[in-house]
Chains A and B, each alone.
Chain A
Amino acid sequence: MPLPVNAELGQASELLMLLASIAYVVAFIFFVLDLVRSSTTINAVEARLASEQAATTRSLASVGAGGGGSTVAEAPQAPVTADDSMDYGSGARRGTARIAVALTVLAAVIHGAAVVSRAFAAHRVPWGNMYEFCTTGALLVSVIFLITLTRKDLRFVGSFVVGLVVVMLCAATVGFPTPVSRLIPALQSYWLIVHVSIAVASSALFTITFAMSVLQLLQTSREAKLLAGKADTAKFLRLVPSALSLENLSYRLNAIAFVGWTFTVMAGAIWAEQAWGRYWGWDTKEVWSFVIWTVYAGYLHARATRGWTGTRAAWLSIVGYLCIVFNFTIVNIYFSGLHSYAGV
């Protein structure tokens, strides 16, 4: 006889989840402030450079052609201010971004406590229904983001990622509120631990690459605009590395996530064999997992096909992520199938 559910701890978990959401919202605001403020700083620097240049030109003109010694520093309209290596230490200190990261760490700690307490309240892994997939998945997104931050300066993508985490938490709390409960017999399998954890981790990685692919597309169109000599209409993208380096990094993350997703599908097949007697039966959930796998396989191949790198590959990455969202929301809620016990 398994231990009874601890309802009080479950309520504490829900409170912690709320606190974490609030902390994330504040972090999100600071990330946006950082983009705005950095943008303003850059504008100011540029304005100063421009006026200095104008002054130098004037003084040169007054000195006359004889001066000649001082060369005017060119202030080229660089399309990218951010460092493509995405390493720290380049550019000015960004106090606001530091606060945003600190707040994200705080939020992630509270969030982690919420997820862990929920697991203890239910005496099992915290991914037994939609609410738990969402909250645990969001935790993974923010933890993976923070881990990546220790190696690379990805703060430019912070507002996107933390924004998505907030959306996921809201979706969980508003869309799929589920009290702590024990598992129904269909989910009582150790494959739940293996299959779903890897699925959530891969989805978290895909979430981050989705944000990067969106930025890549924005940056590509901005780079094209600047090359054509048009005005820069999306100045905040100066904090974002070039489209090419975004593409390269998201490819690396997508490659890891793709292996994870392959494992998810295979572990799912093994579990299906154990639960339903066949490893593959084209159940709606299986169909969409297959579609996602195929789209990302296409993405990996696109990167090795002429004419398909860059923008097209980014679109494939975005389509793949939309399929994941579709699979998690629409398929779970509206499509009937063997997987439709996810707490809805």
Chain B
Amino acid sequence: MSRQDHGTGVESGADTGRQGSDTVKQDTDARASSKGRGDVVVPALGVVGSLRWAWTQLTSMRTALFLLLLLAVGAVPGSLFPQRPANPAVVTQYLQDHPDTGPVLDWFQLFDVYSSVWFSAIYLLLFISLIGCVVPRARAHFRAVRSTPPRTPRRFSRLPVHGTVEIPAEAARAVGLTPSSAAHQAAAVLKKRGYRVDVRDDATAQPSVGAERGLAKEFGNLVFHISLMGVLVAVAIGGLFGYTGQKVVVEGDTFVNTLIGYDSFSPGSNFSDDRLEPYSVRLDAFDVRFDREQESNYGQPLDFTANLTTQDGPGAEEEQQILKVNAPVTIGGTNVYLVGNGYAPVVTVRDAEGNIASEGPVVAVPSDGLYTSLIVIKAPDAQPDQLGFVGFFLPTAFVDEEGVSFSRDPDPFNPQLNLNSYYGDLGLDDGTPENVYVLDTEKLNELNSRNNDDGGIVLSVGQTYDLPEGKGSITFDGLKRYIALDIHHDPAKAGAFVFAMLALFGLAASLFIARRRLWVRISGHDDGSIVAEYGLLARGEDNRLQDEGLMVRKLLEDRWSVPEGTTGEYRVQEAASSAAGTGQSQNTTKDN
């Protein structure tokens, strides 16, 4: 509610505010202050009354503002604590590291903030409050659009901007101007300037024009708030019917869009298997380019390009496609994104009996920009003991003064495996799901390590290492690259986009369009001269009302060929109605 409006006391309405409830509140305030707060007797409300009271409270501006700020505060913990949807492993780790506080935080759903009961409660209440505000306002706006501009006030002197234009008698006679024709001409001028106009009392000696513009401001406001609800609905639909999954694909391998094809998969609540279209994606080659020109950024990645062969379904035609960061491939109702990459050393593990226990590329997880990667190799088929390896893959291995190996470059100039080896029960047979990138070595027997006599295993491409105690061997056959893919299906994406754009336009309209009312009253004087009185009123904040007053004045003066600023008066009302303004309107009333 803008204070300028209160000052004029003619009419008050907040365009960014909640008209209905605020008006009610003002009345209440006025009543309370006139009676004195202590005298108010609170009547029994009853069930319906209580509900009505609760609804009024919920839809009041103050509550909405409170909920809005609460929403901001409520969102913050989600950035302070690890979140399950984004990082389930980190949450598990956090709970392990903080056995005392972790479960308490978990009870408060601080690891699932954005799906928590309390966060949902805040935004649902906010949106209910929003509906409770938007519906009456939409109705009021609908009425406003259909109705004629408001009635002409008796005294313009109370309007924040007002003035008069006088048409001298001879000028009026020359063109045969009457008060009625002057009113119609003023209406035409205002209409051209974008006002809705209504000429009233044009048969009387004092016709007037009511004009209004900027209804799009309120329309924009409504569009903005309704569109926000639309975005929320689109997000909900996406959550119900969409799905998202991850898959790591090594060069030469193929991903098929079926449930078992995924490494991890998060279906929406209404997901069913038949929503997956069985397309396939093969990674033919993955090209990486690093900065080699600049010393300061040497080795910084410049380009990742995945060359794919895709098939829309079994038996469909093969298609070559390029996948890059920021440029997903669209296929089978999904988008496929390049979200990571790394090296997959090709390794063969033989067991004590000389049989191949494990063979093929093993995905190594990069831990820094130089692709120093963690690698875990599991050979559960090895006989008589299962074998496991944990260590590092270094694309360009160097040894520092202390004998520690490290990678100096992200490109594979000197690829090397540095491994510890273990034997025993890898714990894969009891059916519990295991992270393929982690090996729990606690219950295993150590074979090789930097700390024991046999030392760690160091392998370059083509080399084989025979494990101690005749447990088998490991060979570093070669090197491939892999890419990490995110596959997303969100059927409501377009809806969210459309509503977001509508919200943006609505917001701009509601903030930048000025809603103004303007009246012109024409009076004919006895001497033949004609006086046009005009007054302007803004609804909501409007810092250009004065300029508009001047502009309208100039347009009217031009229309009636009155030399600019020679006659009449122009006045800007500061706060309360000024004495001079009152005198002005009394003058014109006298001639009535």
Contacts and interface: CB of A to CB of B under 8 A. Distances in A.
A218 interface: no
B325 A270 contact: no
A52 interface: no
A298 interface: yes
A308 B68 CA distance: 14
Interface string B63-102: 0110011011001101100010110000000000000000
Nearest to B341: A185
A277 B325 contact: no
Contacts of A308: 62, 65
Contacts of B304: 185
Nearest to A316: B69
Nearest to B126: A294
B75 A277 contact: no
Interface string B314-331: 000000000011111000
Interface in A291-316: 291, 294-295, 297-298, 300-309, 316
B511 A255 contact: yes
A266 B502 CA distance: 11
Nearest to B303: A185
Given A185-B326, A259-B504, A282-B86, A288 B79 contact: yes
Contacts of A182: 291, 294, 297, 300, 302
Nearest to B3: A309
Given A185-B324, A294-B69, A277 B488 contact: yes
Lowest 8 CB-CB distances: which A-B pairs, in order? A304-B17, A294-B72, A277-B488, A179-B296, A189-B326, A181-B297, A185-B325, A287-B79
16 contacts: A181-B296, A182-B302, A184-B302, A185-B326, A248-B543, A259-B508, A276-B337, A277-B337, A282-B78, A282-B114, A287-B79, A291-B76, A301-B61, A301-B68, A304-B14, A307-B62
A258 interface: yes
B75 A303 contact: no
A154 interface: no
A259 B508 CA distance: 6
B351 interface: no
A188 interface: yes
A304 B328 contact: no
Contacts of B86: 281-283
Given A185-B303, A270-B497, A302-B65, A290 B75 contact: yes
A334 B514 CA distance: 44
A4 B302 CA distance: 12
A7 interface: yes
A295 B85 contact: no
Contact of B291 (A181, A256, A266, A306): A181
B335 A277 contact: yes
Contacts of A255: 511-512
B244 interface: yes
Contacts of B16: 300-301, 303-304
A343 to B, nearest CB: 10
Given A182-B291, A263-B504, A306-B1, 20 more contacts: A184-B302, A185-B304, A185-B326, A186-B326, A258-B507, A258-B511, A259-B508, A266-B500, A266-B501, A274-B326, A278-B488, A279-B493, A280-B235, A287-B78, A288-B79, A298-B69, A303-B541, A304-B14, A305-B62, A305-B65
Contacts of B301: 184-185
Contacts of A24: none
B504 A301 contact: no
B486 interface: yes
Contacts of A181: 291, 294, 296-297, 300
Contacts of A259: 504, 507-508, 511-512
B368 interface: no
Contact of A298 (B72, B76, B83): B72
A327 to B, nearest CB: 9
B543 A301 contact: no
Interface string A248-279: 10011001101100110010011101111111
Interface in B1-33: 1-3, 14-18, 22, 25
Nearest to A277: B488
B293 interface: yes
B493 A252 contact: no
A295 B61 contact: no
Contacts of A276: 337, 339, 486
B490 interface: yes
Nearest to B305: A185
A280 B488 CA distance: 13
Interface in B474-507: 486-488, 490, 493, 496-497, 500-501, 503-504, 507
A335 interface: yes
A103 B302 CA distance: 40
A80 interface: no
A29 interface: no
A164 interface: no
A308 B61 CA distance: 11
Nearest to B62: A305
A56 interface: no
B537 to A, nearest CB: 17
A284 interface: yes
Contacts of A331: 79
Interface string A165-182: 000000000000001011
Interface in A133-188: 179, 181-182, 184-186, 188
A262 B507 contact: yes
A274 B327 contact: yes
B48 to A, nearest CB: 27
Contacts of B297: 179, 181-182
A275 B337 CA distance: 7
Contact of B75 (A258, A294, A301, A316): A294
B75 A291 contact: yes
A335 B493 CA distance: 28
A186 B497 CA distance: 22
B497 to A, nearest CB: 7
Given A182-B297, A185-B302, A259-B511, A298 B75 contact: no
